[in-house]
A and B are shown apart, each in its own frame.
Chain A
Amino acid sequence: MELMTHPCFLTGSLNTQAPSTMASRGGGRGRGRGQLTFNMEAVGIGKGDALPPPTLQPSPLFPPLEFRPVPLPSGEEGEYVLALKQELRGAMRQLPYFIRPAVPKRDVERYSDKYQMSGPIDSAIDWNPDWRRLPRELKIRVRKLQKERITILLPKRPPKTSEDKEETIQKLETLEKKEEEVTSEEDEEKEEEEEKEEEEEEEYDEEEHEEETDYIMSYFDNGEDFGGDSDDNMDEAIY
């Protein structure tokens, strides 16, 4: 503040011979306000030297460069590392570790939503961490329905009748729950089923999933669903 109200302090030449004039200007409020607390000569500013103009604004955002920067290293190594960097960036975006925020729900449910299996929703993880190494609280609970499924699926050949029941329950629930959640259940169920490595079950999954929508997702019908229902009841003869 003081420096601004006394422009003669910094601009022009410094005259330490007349402190009285400066002091009297402020009405004698502070004596020797124009005098500095240290000897200017020690720092190298002699008497009568021209000083640079005062800075009245913050320094510019992009100050002009006095010297051009040195060129970047080019050559095989530099280019290889550059390409590697860009590749890594792209690759990491594709990995399951890249968590995209959930697609915001649109105002109206669209028909095409049923056909768009847009990734796992918030509560599912794409990859399988080793849960033994992580705190238990980090494990996202699967839905209750899943738990029942898990217990039923443990024996190698799960009775298909219970899966029929599951179908009907599911059909009812589609009326209640939102469709996306069911899609995720199907996804998670597929993950569980994949671990069993039963191909028949896998193809059965698709059919269950297909039955959720009005139309068959793929036009391929290999006829296995035809005999699938009665496969387990070996007592009956297969016609």
Chain B
Amino acid sequence: MTQAEIKLCSLLLQEHFGEIVEKIGVHLIRTGSQPLRVIAHDTGTSLDQVKKALCVLVQHNLVSYQVHKRGVVEYEAQCSRVLRMLRYPRYIYTTKTLYSDTGELIVEELLLNGKLTMSAVVKKVADRLTETMEDGKTMDYAEVSNTFVRLADTHFVQRCPSVPTTENSDPGPPPPAPTLVINEKDMYLVPKLSLIGKGKRRRSSDEDAAGEPRAKRPKHTTDNKEPIPDDGIYWQANLDRFHQHFRDQAIVSAVANRMDQTSSEIVRTMLRMSEITTSSSAPFTQPLSSNEIFRSLPVGYNISKQVLDQYLTLLADDPLEFVGKSGDSGGGMYVINLHKALASLATATLESVVQERFGSRCARIFRLVLQKKHLEQKQVEDFAMIPAKEAKDMLYKMLSENFISLQEIPKTPDHAPSRTFYLYTVNILSAARMLLHRCYKSIANLIERRQFETKENKRLLEKSQRVEAIIASMQATGAEEAQLQEIEEMITAPERQQLETLKRNVNKLDASEIQVDETIFLLESYIECTMKRL
């Protein structure tokens, strides 16, 4: 784990779970797998606090444990999983576009709580949806269950590994920690539940079902009397499937930008057909025949078979090689080259970064070196048609930032410098890694700056919150307009200005974080698929 990653993980954990969890989490990321007592000793926190923190981390799938010999349980943190916390809003928004509000809330609850049973999820979501509905209407559990089943069928949520059911004749003491197993087939199997009920509002007690006299302190309305039917079956959000979806989205939009809407629709259809059949790390999708594609096109599209064939040929001949032709049977067998597509996207990201950072002439040189693979100093000047001095300057700037590297080719075995070729080249993998590292640093800086801005104006923020609370309570009790005006004037105009500026800055910083995370996703996907290939 690089320092930048560790710093980012530390900031994320601290923002979402507090300082104790952050301390334990960062320690585990830094030092690898460790048992409980060693963690407590090394971090200097009390054993109870470490236990609490570990419970939270395991619940959220950020830390896993393993039983070693002699009954020692060791805990290990997954740094990459912690970094996924940046992407939670994107996951939730994607589900909203696919499955509307119900799906959105289901995934949100799963992400916020780490793992939940299906009945718990359905209940929570129904309650939340009921809150937002008009008075008198409630959300039925059945509808939420249906959405849940659909999410499971398309693999967006999956079952967590569960405790194996052992026979009672197991002699000896129980193991210090259960070894969780999951059967591949069962991962998306939804238990047969008959969840009947409606969401409940949290407000007045009149709407509660009669018969339960309200206690002074209202307790949970959990049905503790009945055994929960799906006890022990926990569900979590399947992040890999979301990543696959993002990747598909990126490819489709790239094709749309490069060619036109119709070709992007064709590519989208092909990707949709291979969603479940192709694993997420395959280099290309299963071959699809042109006839199949024609049949699966969305209903609104009235293009003839010939036009479709023309489009497919055009896509296959494109130098970007998103689509490849793998055979002629069935009217032509076509595949989507996923790895090549990711490589193109990563390269495009690099080019765009060079352009925005150094200018379009630098970008020209960069693209030239990318295309020609290895170039000498003189050749660069000639091909790019840029005067020597400027070309030199630009090359060195890019070299110092590690976008371009030098390749030595010796003429003699003694590698004498005067008799060696020095060629400029772009190593995409290492440039992508370097850029990824910079992205992590950027996000860490953005988060720190946002926290700094918020801390600076803490007093003002608290004051405005208090005023809002006062106004809200006064409105509830029916106050006059004049009184509300008075209270609002407690915040002076310059203070209001300051608050506005603060809000704008924080929004900008947040939006930048989201943007950088998109770049991170592309680069990480590219690096991952390249490493698998090597």
- Tell me the A residues contacting B by CB distance below 8 Å: 36-39, 42-45, 66-67, 69-70, 72-73, 77-78, 80-82, 84-86, 88-89, 91-93, 95, 97-101, 122-123, 125, 129-130, 132-140, 194-195, 197, 199, 202-203, 206, 218, 220
B interface, CB within 8 angstroms of A: 15-21, 36, 46, 48-49, 51-56, 58-60, 65, 67, 73, 88-90, 92-93, 108, 112-114, 162-163, 174, 176-178, 180, 213, 215-217, 219-220, 224-225, 232, 234, 356-359, 377-378, 388, 392, 395, 417-418, 420-422, 507-508, 510-515
A199-B215 in contact given A42-B422, A73-B515 (Cβ < 8 Å): yes
- Complex CA–CA separation, A82 to B176 (angstroms): 43
Structural contact, A133 and B163, CB atoms closer than 8 A: yes
In the bound assembly, the distance between CA atoms of A1 and B108 in angstroms comes to 59
Contact B59 A97 (CB under 8 A): yes
Determine how close the nearest CB of chain A comes to the CB of B181; give it in whole angstroms.
Answer: 12
A36 nearest in chain B by CB position: B417
Q: A44-B395, A101-B19 are in contact. List 16 more A-B contacts (CB 8 A).
A: A44-B378, A72-B511, A81-B89, A97-B60, A98-B17, A122-B52, A129-B59, A130-B234, A135-B177, A137-B36, A137-B177, A138-B36, A140-B51, A140-B52, A199-B213, A199-B215
B514 touches A82 (CB 8 A): yes
| Shortest distance from the beta carbon of B456 to any chain A beta carbon, whole Å | 18
Query: Is A197's CB under 8 angstroms from B224's CB?
Result: yes
Question: A206 contacts B217, CB within 8 Å?
Answer: yes
Q: Which of B53, B213, B357, B420 contacts A99 (CB 8 A)?
A: B53
- 9 smallest CB-CB distances across A and B, nearest first, come from A38-B417, A135-B177, A39-B418, A44-B377, A85-B89, A84-B89, A135-B73, A92-B16, A99-B18
Q: Which A-chain residue is minimally distant from B381 (CB atoms)?
A: A44
- A132:B514 contact, CB within 8 angstroms: no
Q: Could you tell me if A133 and B420 are in contact, using CB atoms closer than 8 angstroms?
A: no
Specify which chain A residues have a CB less than 8 angstroms from the CB of B358 in the assembled complex.
66-67
- Which among B17, B93, B356 is the interface contact of A92 at CB below 8 angstroms? B17
Q: Determine the distance from Cα of A38 to Cα of B419 in the docked complex, in whole angstroms.
A: 8
Q: Are A95 and B89 in touch, CB under 8 angstroms? A: no
* Interchain pairs with CB closer than 8 A, number: 158
B35 CB, min distance to chain A CBs, angstroms: 9
Contact A84 B93 (CB under 8 A): yes
Contact at A70–B356, with CB atoms within 8 Å?
yes
Partner of B216 from A72, A129, A134, A203 at Cβ < 8 Å: A203
Q: For B35, give the chain A residue with the smallest CB separation.
A: A137
Across the interface, which residues of B come within 8 angstroms of A77, CB to CB?
93
- Determine the distance from Cα of A194 to Cα of B217 in the docked complex, in whole angstroms: 10
A125 in complex: contacting residue of B36, B52, B513, CB < 8 Å: B52
A133 to B117, CA, bound (A): 13
- Interface pairs (10), CB distance under 8 Å: A42-B417, A43-B422, A72-B511, A82-B89, A84-B92, A85-B510, A95-B113, A99-B56, A134-B177, A138-B51
Knowing A81-B90, A82-B507, A130-B234, the reply to whether A69 touches B356 (Cβ < 8 A) is yes
**Which of A82, A95, A139 interacts with B510 by CB under 8 Å?**
A82
